[in-house]
Structure 1
């Protein structure tokens, strides 16, 4: 298996955006009672509340998240990196800073 173009993964930016959106989503849920009352709240409902700038950041985050999954899979298949747990994903007990 050849190494797909994984060198474009910016881990620092990924962590920065992950933290930003973790805080942003928590704030949205705490300050918007209408969101809390939705019967089947979806992530897309929250993203709809973002500003245009945040929606652009969200798209960047999603692209980085997809690339992170590819990096994790590549590492897993090559015996490196974190282990995979079904239903949870790739876990690293030493890093609890990302969702």
Structure 2
């Protein structure tokens, strides 16, 4: 793997961190004094909380991918030990499993 791979992973991690930070900031905002607006803001909060959970999980997965890269294990399936296809890594840079093992994990 090349340093461009590591740079790409670090940029992706930074993007997720920035997104999480912005969502946390938005969630900390005060509610309007208007009751109708408060109801809408609370619904928006539920959506933002779901986005924050997703962003935090993706950030965690990318951090693990960076660690695998540093240990020389990036691109190797964590289940079977085979190489993960480059096209899969291009689409899912934090992929832990080859497509076959990912399919098996989804079925279980």
TM-score range, shorter chain: 0.3 to 0.5
Structure number having the greater strand percentage: 1
TM-score (norm: length of structure 2): 0.33
Please state which structure has a larger fraction of its residues in helix. 2
